[in-house]
Amino acid sequence: MWEHIYQAIDELYEKMVETRRHLHQYPEASFNEEKTAQFIVNTYKKLGIPYESHVGGNGVIAKLEGGKPGKTVALRADFDALPIQEENDVPYRSKNEGVMHACGHDGHTAALLGLAEAIIPHKEELPGTIIFLHQHAEEYAPGGAKPIVESGALTNVDAVFGTHLWVNAPTGVIQTAKGPFMAGADRFEIKIQGKGGHGAQPHQTKDAIVIASQLVSSLQQIVSRRVDPLRTAVLSVGTFESGTTFNIIADSAKLTGTVRTFDPEVQNLIIEEMEKVIKGACTGYDAEYEFLYEKGYPPVVNHPEEAELVLQNANKADASLTTEEIEPVMAGEDFAYYLLDKPGAFYFTGAQIPDHYYPHHHPKFDFDETALPHAAKTLFQSYISYQEKQGI
């Protein structure tokens, strides 16, 4: 029934690529996406679709009312970039020093804008209302999703769907889970204050590097020895900063890292155990410490019925697509806030380049642009499937 919509999306493939590459060349980091937001606004102006800007910050929301009765469904794409220096040698390489679209958000935006352009000539055929939800600041907590929800922008929305171009899956594969899908993502910082001194007189010091090194090892044992092995968790130390030169014992050290969980009880257990381990190590060396723990995005927990709609109907959008129900992944996403507020589902759209595989957030990250229509089509199919589920 909607083949003409999917054909229109295919016909806009080159334009979606052009949009993606333009955005890729001019990335803006989280909370600084003014020009990107304006580009999105200008597109909706040209399409004649009503919009609202500065939603919850730099967010942009456009609203397309169909000609037939139905539910209101939000389709989300994020558009911020990362503070990474790009290392790809491509014509569309980032022109903004130290900033790069290293996660695919440029593609998310291009796909949603392409979908809007594809369906605008057919709006009278559509049931209900589509909300094109362009979100800023996904990469950096507190993120953009929470303030968008708090703004009331989703008050009249019945369901929300979103996708992430995913280089860990082959192009043509759609992946999701019915229930927990992505982990809650927290951040911690540990500052150790010891007593520095000469490298030849360690007995007169409180060696911050020794204390911090012990902590790196001990913190790993929290998950392996304190958390029930049937309950998933990850604790990773990401940075270790200390010292000034080879023959001076450092008086201070700083560790930062992340904790990933699905269960609030496990999250709280880890926080308590971290405090014990840090206090114990520092007490033993008569050193002082500061422990900062920032609870980040909650877990992405899909609503089972909406996730099932994605799994069962994605290939209606494109016969070449296959679907997989996968185990949860430990990456985090602030799409979680939408799912705490409304029914919906988040899913991965495979976009792997076989001979150029670099993970998300890598300086050489890139994705298969032929996945752009897949993202646009499956978002539209999710909206249609939800309407059909309601008997519309």
Catalytic residue, candidates 33, 117, 138, 333: 138
Q: Which of 28, 33, 80, 366 is an active site residue?
A: 80
Is 108 known to sit in a ligand binding site? no
Active site residue 10: no
356: annotated binding-site residue? no
* Residue 105, annotated as binding a ligand: yes
Q: List, in sequence order, every beta strand (DSSP E) within the chain.
A: 51-55, 59-65, 68-78, 127-135, 159-170, 173-176, 180-182, 184-193, 197-198, 233-242, 248-249, 252-261, 288-297, 300-301, 322-325, 344-352
Rounded CA-CA distance 260/237 in Å is 12
Q: Is 52 a catalytic residue?
A: no
DSSP-based helix, strand, coil % in the chain, nearest 5: 40, 30, 35
Q: Is 361 annotated as a binding residue?
A: yes
Distance CA 111, CA 16 (A): 6
Annotated binding-site residue? 282: no
Alpha carbon 214 to its chain centroid, in Å, reads 32
The answer to whether 64 touches 120, Cβ cutoff 8 Å, is yes
- The two beta strands, 173-176 and 322-325, are parallel
Q: What is the DSSP string of 190-201?
A: EEEE-B-EETT-
Residue matched to tokens 């390489």: 93
At 380, give phi and psi (nearest 5°). Answer: -65, -40
User: Binding site, residues?
Assistant: 103, 105, 139, 164, 361
Please give the positions annotated as active site: 80, 138
